[in-house]
Structures are given as C-alpha cells and as structure tokens.
C-alpha cells in the first residue's frame, strides 16, 4: 500500500528536521491490517511513552504558531497532542468530540466517510467570536474531520489560524479538502 512504509516517511516542508524526523519515526509503529485488511495503522503510543520524543513532537506542532488564543484538539489522539501544544502556546484547549459525547449545548458538523457519515461537536461556549484557533490532530488522512472542525470554528465566529498534524498521509490528499488553510505536518508519508 502506498505510504505504508516507515522508510518512505520524511520531514514535511517547514516541519521536522532530518534528525527530529528520524527520532519521531523511530517511535511510530506500523500496524498492518488494522483496523481492517489493507490499512496500515500509524500507532503513536510508543512516541507518547518516550518523554523526549513526545516533547519534541509537541514543540514541532507548536512551532510557527503565533497569536493563537485557542487550540482545538480532535478526538481522540488529537486531545493528547493538542493540550500540551496549548500549554506551550499559552492558549486555551478545546476538545472537539464525536457526536453525543459533550454534556452541554453544542455546535455540530457532519461529514462524509467512505462508509457513511460522522458528526463532531464542540460546546457552543468553548470558542468565542474573534478567537484565533489552531486545530491539532495526530494524522491528516482524507481531511474530512479537519474540514468539519474548521467549519465548527468558523461557525463560532472565530478564525482558523492553521491546522497542525503530526503525520500527513499524502496519497489520501486530505489537503484538498482544506483550501485556503495553513496546513502544517511535522512528518509526511
């Protein structure tokens, strides 16, 4: 499968240096045929367990972001990365959750999946008009979830300052669903 080999991974644009890329890639495990045959899952749990690698990943995700007031993390691994990025930037953290998981009033956005539709939500009071929001996730694949998150941010009256991901799977062309947005990937495969 294209993009499934760790050896093919490389730093992405303004993302990681060669040394940082090597460190991070050595901590990302390929899991073949998960969650279904033909898929190679990029498991970041070894990276999260390595303090220096985790810190380097968080710093790389935060680098280049200025004037951010809020960091929105996409469920679920995006939470793990977005909260420390918010801390580094001195910004607040907002979880973007799967539909039905938040306790108060929400804005919801549905988007298409290969096999149906999904919905994500954010509390109506979590993002204020005028906020400058950085969206963070672990992987950019098809771009549907990131595009839906950007729409939620705009609906709240805020500005999307960018989308930062640890890993972009380029052959899935997720950037195509994110026109006119600053998308930064630390690594690309």
Q: Which are the catalytic amino acids?
A: 77, 114
**Residues 166, 61: Cα–Cα separation, whole Å:** 7
Q: Structure tokens of 18?
A: 């060669």
Identify the burial level of 59 via C-beta atoms within 10 angstroms of its C-beta, where 0-12 means exposed, 13-18 middle and 19 or more buried.
Answer: middle
Contact 62, 91 (CB under 8 A): no
**Residues 36, 23: Cα–Cα separation, whole Å:** 28
Largest CA distance in the chain: 45
**Residues 57, 63: Cα–Cα separation, whole Å:** 10
φ and ψ of 9, to 5 deg: -70, 150
Neighbours of 22 (CB within 10 A): 13
Residues in the chain: 189
| Residues with Cβ within 8 Å of residue 37, at least 6 apart in sequence | none
């Amino acid at each position: 499968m294209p993009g499934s080999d760790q050896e093919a991974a490389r730093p992405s644009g303004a993302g990681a240096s060669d040394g940082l890329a090597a460190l991070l890639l050595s901590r990302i495990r390929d899991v073949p045929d998960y969650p279904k045959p033909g898929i190679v899952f990029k498991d970041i749990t070894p990276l999260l367990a390595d303090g220096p690698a985790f810190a380097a990943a968080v710093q790389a995700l935060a680098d280049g972001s200025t004037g951010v007031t809020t960091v929105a993390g996409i469920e679920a691994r995006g939470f793990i990365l977005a909260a420390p990025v918010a801390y580094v930037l001195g910004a607040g953290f907002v979880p973007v959750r799967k539909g039905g998981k938040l306790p108060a009033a929400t804005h919801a956005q549905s988007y298409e999946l290969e096999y149906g539709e999904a919905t994500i939500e954010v509390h109506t009071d979590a993002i204020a008009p005028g906020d400058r929001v950085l969206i963070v996730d672990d992987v950019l694949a098809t771009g549907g979830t990131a595009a839906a998150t950007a729409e939620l941010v705009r609906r709240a009256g805020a500005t999307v300052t960018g989308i930062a991901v640890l890993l972009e799977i380029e052959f899935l062309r997720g950037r195509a669903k994110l026109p006119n947005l600053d998308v930064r990937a630390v690594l690309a495969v």
